[in-house]
């Protein structure tokens, strides 16, 4: 067994603990975030445990974020733009793994913002989107040939034009 290093103690059951320098509590090593230092030596990454526990670290980070909100948002945007494809891939994978969470979140959002759902529906109707045309045909994405969608879209355009001409004739 190795000896505990500075600021560490050996707890019950030989599990190593570390004392947080912020709150002063002795906590398990898993309660401390790992810091990866990439700047020290080119080509090597050194990792060590942060001196503050996760709770204190989160509190400190939150205070910094609200004190420097515009800077933090700008930095987040830069990181996102640099790694956009990786972020999108990660989001796609997460959605595939957490379909039930996504479904619940969408349901919650639709319930809280019914006007957005109506705007989206009106946009689909106005533009005759593939989504709207497939629904008019009562088809799913898998069995909707593009030629059939194009023909149905033309039919809907003709129906709309006929309706407008009829309204003009009636003086509306």
Overall average pLDDT of the 4-17 stretch? 54
Same domain? For 67 and 123 the reply is: no
8 Å CB contact between 19 and 7: yes
Q: What is the DSSP string of 10-38?
A: E-GGG-EEEE-TTT--EEEGGGSPEEEE-
Q: At which of 61, 82, 103 does a domain end?
A: 82
Q: Is residue 25 part of a domain?
A: yes
Within a domain: residue 93? no
Which of 82, 104, 136 marks a domain boundary? 82
The structure tokens 């080119």 sit at 42
SS3 156: helix
Question: What is the pTM for the complete model shown?
Answer: 0.46
Residues 61 and 124 reside in one and the same domain: no
**Is the same domain home to 72 and 118?**
no
78: left (phi over 0), alpha (psi -120 to 50) or beta: alpha
Q: Count how many domains the chain has.
A: 2
Query: Is residue 148 situated within a structural domain?
Result: yes
Q: What is the span of the domain harbouring residue 42? A: 8-82
Does residue 73 lie within any of the structural domains? yes
Is position 101 within any domain?
A: no
pLDDT at 144: 77
Residues 116-136: tens digit of each pLDDT: 888 888 888 898 888 888 888
Interval 56-97: pLDDT, tens: 999 999 999 999 999 999 999 999 999 999 999 999 999 999
* Predicted local confidence at residue 61, as pLDDT: 93
């Amino acid at each position: 067994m190795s000896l505990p290093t500075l600021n560490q103690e050996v707890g019950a059951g030989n599990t190593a603990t570390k004392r947080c320098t912020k709150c002063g509590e002795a906590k398990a090593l898993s309660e401390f975030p790992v810091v990866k230092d990439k700047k020290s030596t080119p080509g090597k990454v050194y990792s060590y445990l942060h001196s503050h526990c996760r709770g204190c670290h989160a509190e400190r980070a939150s205070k910094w974020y609200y004190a420097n909100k515009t800077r933090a948002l700008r930095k987040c945007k830069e990181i996102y733009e640099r790694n956009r494809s990786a972020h999108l891939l990660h989001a796609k994978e997460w959605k595939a793994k957490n379909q039930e969470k996504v479904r619940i979140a969408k349901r919650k959002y639709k319930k809280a913002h019914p006007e957005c759902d109506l705007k989206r529906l009106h946009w689909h109707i106005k533009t005759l989107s593939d989504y709207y045309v497939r629904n008019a045909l009562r088809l799913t994405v898998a069995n909707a040939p593009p030629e059939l969608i194009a023909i149905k879209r033309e039919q809907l355009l003709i129906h709309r034009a006929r309706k407008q001409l009829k309204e003009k004739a009636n003086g509306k």
